[in-house]
Chains A and B, each alone.
Chain A
Amino acid sequence: MPILGYIASPQSGAKQKLLQELNALQYCEAFPADNVDILILVTDTPDKETEEKLQVQLKGIKSLESLSMTFGYNDELHKGERNDNEA
């Protein structure tokens, strides 16, 4: 199921809080930029239902101003594929 990459923008002054809240969620891993108020978020959910639940949870985070997706991958769409640049 999907692995998604995002740039996450916090509400003003809420970068640290957002980092904690994102990392507290199951299926989420976030890390901050050092010198800009943004975070990188990578999500990895096992199935469609969990992904949909996670999306709802993300939308409910108050310290989050916006999420911009930069990467998307879905197992179901890529079954059997492999190229030289994957391990």
Chain B
Amino acid sequence: MTMKLDRRSFIKSAAATSAIATAASLFPGVSFANWKKLEGATGMISWQKAPCRFCGTGCGVLVGVSGDRAVAVKGDPNCSVNKGLCCVKGYHSVQALYGKDRLTKAKVRKNGEMVEVPIAEALDVIAAKMKETIDKHGKDSVAMYGSGQWTIPDGYVASKLFKGCIGTNNLEANARLCMASAVTGFMTSFGLDEPMGCYEDIEHANVFVTWGNNMAEMHPVLFSRMLAARKRKTNVEVIDFATRTTRTSQAADKTIIFKPQTDLAVANAICYEIIRNNWVNQDFVNKHVSFHKGLTNIGYGVEDHFKFKDKAEGISFEEFETFLKDYTPERVEKISGVSANDIRYLASVYGDPKKKVTSFWCMGMNQHTRGTWINNLVYNIHLLVGKISTPGNSPFSLTGQPSACGTVREVGTLTHKLPHGVVMKEGARKMAAEIWDVPLSNIDPKPTYHTVEMFRALDRGDIKFMWIQVTNPMVTMPKLKRYRDGALKEDRFVVVSDVYPTPTTDVADVILPAAMWVEQEGMFGNSERRTQHFDQIVPPPGEAMSDTWQLIEVARRLGYEKQFPWDEDEYIGKIWEEYRRFHDSPKHNMAPYKVLKARSGVQWPFVNGKETRWRFNSKHDPACTSGEDFHFYGKKDNRAWIWARPYEPAAESPDQEYNFWLNTGRVVEHWHTGSMTRRVPVLHNAVPSAYVEINPDDAADLGVVNGEMVKIISRRGEITMPASINGRGVPPRGMVFVPFFDESYLINEVTLDAFCPISKQPDYKKCAVRLEKA
């Protein structure tokens, strides 16, 4: 039964959420698990489960519905991720559905003007333009760019259409910009993607090391769980290893600041100390680890058509030990600014056999021109001491988007990937061709463009048509001006599916209004291998349509009715069961549709009705078949790989002309480019605009006080914005930090499009700028 929520109850609910939001800003990590959303006062509303729309934590929420409108959110106590908690964004998430400028009608550019048209007409235009472009310029002249906010069915049908039917590998997603180094880190160290552990590690660990990861703002619910564990027990500490002080630093037991890029050197120095002190878990290493080295001086990808392929070579433990001799604590102190004592301290934490250690990281390590390497190096530390794949011992790569794992990494919406395996492997192509019912010859064995190169190809004209769904690249692409100018060129055709106007819809020739989050049925996959189903809970506005159904409509117009036969009232379940066929093995089995619908998330591998919490551990993982305590079955040698990876400098470092590091990132109130959270009044009012954090001494040298305008100039462009001095984050001297959520201050006009040559993920954390008082 559902009754209407009255206006007064709604305002009381807003009063409570506002107080919670303020408390969260004053007390990082504060939680209110017992908050029942003043249920006694709000009257009866119906509640339905969903994963939160925002970050990759995957908090379960209950969406309160009155009539056909979502009116409230509370944490889902049945979801093990958050156990009833939410962060400030989660509590306000349903308000993001109801911004005044929601896109509700399709628009097509006619004689230079965007004109509202029926959505069917816009879909006709898209299909006709794709056909015409392919006929004229070939299949690789059309491209699709999606996101880690795509639902799993969205990404799956995109892959089927582009890779299986059209036959182009021009399919990428914005998770390339946030998670690609995590993927290549997993693949090179373990041969399989995604964390071996789970959030339950938080309840077991004694020490948490956050590697360049401001968890208090980026993953506040997990951070709350960490702090709650610390409060509950007497032997838990949090070490914040970072390039600037943040709210995470405020709550940590110890903060260690390192110079940008030198995490590589510090990680190697930790390994050096572990070996020097005989803290190596010899039994584990002898049974489960092999040693390797790859190519060095691998470049930065700043030039078009950059190519790199790593070459692995086996080495001995002794050769690895010799390699580490360049990384004594004293030497690394000079490179990193981290004292030799602090390096020894970090090594002692990992080396102490009595301590269970969990390392968390996200963009700090992934958005890094040696992102794959630093992922490898943190695994090296855990592997040397055997602290992995057991409760509390966990190297844990967090994600930033709700389905970066579920959609992009598992479905494989990247140029080289298929839902199972890579396009280069004939077996993977055969499996896809069979399941998709397309000729094997349709699936091209050669990857085309990763994200940066795809936008370069659009600029060059190699790509003429691009369809962008659920993301905002005209805010997020590094070295933005080049890619915006490219999208606006005369003979380029850009389709954008979104829920609000953005700088990306500004460059569109067709805009499709999309259903958002619980306005459609779908699934997300979070950071801990958890697939989370949500029903359509409220109707989408106007002619807004799910991204999946938009793709199906266009696919049918292109003649692929056979591959996209589903009815609109059951297509999500059908798509899921088709997709599951790709992962039919104990290493990756996914839960059936019925199970997903019933539960607040299910972890894969889901084998014989049971979720797998710690992979590679034979007590927990049914895919382990070696008879040993651990089995790293992802690699052909059945071992995890330790890599000798050196410290190499950033693509661009401060010099006499451009004498500051520029670091970019997020704030707790806003998610991604702010296109949703800036339309939530409480969140927008909390942080209404972006700013540049400057060290107080640098600000004094510049003659700038808080709020005064500062010009940030790089070799790519410039931007003027207000200064924040001693705000929530304080960079060290010689560094500035800018959050990227605000389209009024496009910081990516300034950033550099250098990337990790292995993962192809750009580095948003390091480039050189100079400052002027504006």
Question: Do the two chains belong together in a single complex?
Answer: yes
Smallest Cβ distance from B185 to chain A, in angstroms? 32
A29 at the interface (CB under 8 A from B): yes
Q: Is the CB of A87 within 8 A of B71?
A: yes
Does A85 contact B680, Cβ atoms closer than 8 Å?
yes
Known: A71-B15, A85-B681, A87-B66. A35 touches B8 (CB 8 A): no
Cα-based distance from A10 to B759 in the complex (angstroms): 51
Which residues in B have their C-beta under 8 angstroms from that of A3?
Answer: 8, 11-12, 15
Question: Taking the nearest CB of chain B, how far is it from the CB of A84, in angstroms?
Answer: 5
A42 to B98, CA, bound (A): 25
State whether A5 and B38 are in contact (beta carbons under 8 Å apart), knowing that A33-B32, A35-B224, A87-B66 are contacts in the complex.
no
B345 CB within 8 Å of chain A: no
Nearest-Cβ distance from residue A2 to partner chain B, whole angstroms: 10
Quick one: given A3-B11, A5-B16, A5-B18, are A38 and B23 in contact (CB under 8 Å)? Answer: yes
The answer to whether A70 and B19 have CB atoms under 8 Å apart is yes
Interface string of A32-54 (1 = CB under 8 A from B): 11111010111010000000000
Inter-chain CA distance A41–B16, complex, in Å, is 7
Q: In the bound complex, what is the Cα–Cα distance between A83 and B5 (angstroms)?
A: 15
Q: Which of B245-263 contact A (CB under 8 A)?
A: none
B228–A34 CB distance below 8 A: yes
A7-B19, A85-B95 known; A31 vs B11 contact (CB < 8 Å): no
Given contacts A29-B41, A73-B11, A35 and B29 within 8 Å (CB-CB): yes
User: How far is A71 from B99 in the complex, measured between Cα atoms in Å?
Assistant: 21
A58 part of interface (Cβ distance < 8 Å): no
Given contacts A3-B15, A71-B14, A87-B5, contact A31 B41 (CB under 8 A): no
List, in ascending order, chain B residues with CB within 8 A of A35's CB.
29-31, 224, 227-228, 231
Question: Which chain A residue has the least Cβ–Cβ distance from B225?
Answer: A35
Question: A76: CB under 8 A from chain B?
Answer: no
Once the chains are docked, how many angstroms separate the CA of A83 from the CA of B38? 22
Query: Are B12's CB and A40's CB within 8 A?
Result: no
Interface size (A, Cβ < 8 Å)? 26
Instruction: Select which of A31, A33, A38, A70 is within 8 A of B18 by beta carbon.
Output: A70
* Nearest CB of chain B from residue A6's CB, rounded to whole Å: 6
- Alpha-carbon separation in the docked complex, A24 to B30 (Å): 25
Once the chains bind, are A44 and B33 in contact (CB under 8 Å)? no
Asked whether any CB of chain A lies closer than 8 Å to the CB of B136, the reply is no
Is B306's beta carbon under 8 Å from chain A? no
Tell me the minimal C-beta distance from B459 to chain A in angstroms: 38
What residues of A have a CB within 8 angstroms of the CB of B22 in the complex?
A: 7, 68, 70
CA A85 to CA B26, docked complex, whole Å:
26
Alpha-carbon gap, A5 to B7, bound state (A) = 16
Nearest A residue to B230, CB-CB: A35
Residues of B within 8 A of A40 (CB): 16, 19-20, 23, 32, 35
Q: How far is the CB of A60 from chain B (nearest CB, A)?
A: 22
Chain B interface, >50% SS class: helix
CA distance A83 to B36 in the complex (A): 25
When each residue 676-716 of chain B gets 1 if its CB lies under 8 Å from chain A and 0 otherwise, what string results? 00001100000000000000000000000000000000000
Known contacts A36-B27, A83-B100; A42 and B38 CB within 8 A of each other:
yes
B residues within 8 A CB of A34?
Answer: 30-34, 228
Interface size on B, residues (CB 8 A): 43
| Beta-carbon contact of A31 and B99 below 8 Å | no
Complex alpha-carbon distance, A82 and B8, angstroms: 12
**Residue B69 is within 8 A (CB to CB) of chain A in the complex:** yes
> B98 and A84: CB pair below 8 A?
yes
Closest residue to B102 on the A side, CB-wise?
Answer: A84
For chain A residues 63-79, which have a beta carbon within 8 Å of chain B? 68, 70-71, 73
At the interface, is chain A mostly helix, strand, loop or mixed?
A: strand
Q: Is B10 an interface residue (CB 8 A)?
A: yes
Assess whether A36 is in contact with B30, with CB atoms less than 8 Å apart: yes
Q: Mark B50-82, 1 if CB is under 8 A from A, else 0.
A: 000000000000000010010100000000000
A57 to chain B, nearest CB (A): 19
- Among candidates B14, B26, B31, B100, residue contacting A7 with C-beta atoms closer than 8 Å: B26
Which residue on chain A has the smallest CB distance to residue B85? A34
Question: Which residues does chain A contribute within 8 Å of B27, judged by CB atoms?
Answer: 33, 36, 38
Known: A7-B19, A33-B23, A33-B30. A44 touches B8 (CB 8 A): yes
CB distance from A77 to the nearest CB of B (A): 12
Residues of chain B lying within 8 A (CB to CB) of residue A38:
23, 27, 30
Residues A4 and B15 in contact in the complex (CB < 8 Å), given A35-B224, A83-B100: yes
**In the complex with contacts A3-B15, A7-B19, A38-B30, A84-B41 CB distance below 8 A:** no
**What's the least CB distance linking A85 to chain B, in Å?**
5
Least CB distance from B663 to A in Å reads 29
Most chain B CB inside 10 Å of its own CB: which residue of A33, A44, A68: A33
User: Which residues of chain A are within 8 angstroms of B681 by Cβ–Cβ distance?
Assistant: 83, 85
> How far does the alpha carbon of A35 sit from the alpha carbon of B232 in the complex, in Å?
9
Question: Contacts of B66 on A, CB cut-off 8 Å?
Answer: 87
For residue B239, give the distance in angstroms from its CB to the closest CB of chain A.
Answer: 19
Shortest CB–CB separation between residue A46 and chain B, in angstroms?
A: 10
Alpha-carbon gap, A36 to B32, bound state (A): 9
Distance of A34 Cα from B34 Cα, bound (Å)? 8
B540 to chain A, nearest CB (A): 15
Chain A neighbourhood of B15, CB < 8 A = 3-5, 42, 70-71, 73
B 555-571 to A, binary, CB cutoff 8 A, 1 in contact else 0: 00000000000000000
Q: A29 touching B38 by the CB < 8 A rule?
A: yes
Closest Cβ of chain B: how far from A80's Cβ, in Å? 12
A68–B20 Cα gap in the complex (Å)?
12
Given contacts A3-B11, A87-B69, contact A32 B18 (CB under 8 A): no
> In the complex, which residues of chain A have a beta carbon less than 8 angstroms from the beta carbon of B31?
33-35
User: Which residue on A lies nearest to B34, using beta carbons?
Assistant: A31
The docked-state distance in angstroms from the alpha carbon of A4 to that of B22 is 14
Most chain-A Cβ atoms within 10 A of its Cβ — which of B22, B35, B41, B228?
Answer: B22
Least CB separation from B20: chain A residue:
A40
Task: Compute how far the CA of A38 lies from the CA of B29 in the bound complex, rounded to whole angstroms.
Answer: 13
Q: Contacts A38-B23, A84-B100 given: A32-B34 contact, CB under 8 Å?
A: yes
Complex Cα–Cα for A3 and B19 (A): 12
Pick the most buried of B15, B23, B99, B224: most chain A CB atoms within 10 A of its CB: B15
Taken together as a complex, chains A and B put the C-alpha atoms of A68 and B6 apart, in Å, by 26
Q: Which of A6, A33, A86 contacts B10 (CB 8 A)?
A: A86
Contact with A along B227-248 (1 / 0, CB 8 A): 1100100000000000000000
The docked-state distance in angstroms from the alpha carbon of A6 to that of B40 is 19
The residue in chain B whose Cβ has the minimal distance to the Cβ of A83 is: B100
A36 to B40, CA, bound (A): 24
Q: Which residues of A are found within 8 Å of B224, using beta-carbon distances?
A: 35
Is A71 a contact partner of B18 (Cβ separation < 8 A)? yes
18 contacts between A and B (CB under 8 A): A5-B15, A7-B23, A31-B16, A31-B36, A32-B34, A33-B23, A33-B31, A33-B32, A34-B32, A35-B29, A35-B227, A40-B23, A40-B35, A70-B22, A73-B14, A84-B99, A85-B98, A87-B5
- Chain A residues at the B interface, C-beta cutoff of 8 Å: 3-7, 29, 31-36, 38, 40-42, 44, 68, 70-71, 73, 83-87
Ranked 8 nearest A-B pairs via Cβ: A5-B15, A71-B18, A5-B19, A70-B22, A71-B15, A87-B10, A70-B19, A40-B19
Can you add 18 more A-B contacts, CB < 8 Å, to A42-B38, A44-B41, A83-B100?
A5-B16, A6-B19, A7-B19, A29-B38, A33-B30, A34-B32, A36-B27, A38-B30, A40-B16, A41-B19, A68-B22, A70-B23, A71-B14, A71-B15, A73-B15, A84-B100, A85-B95, A85-B680
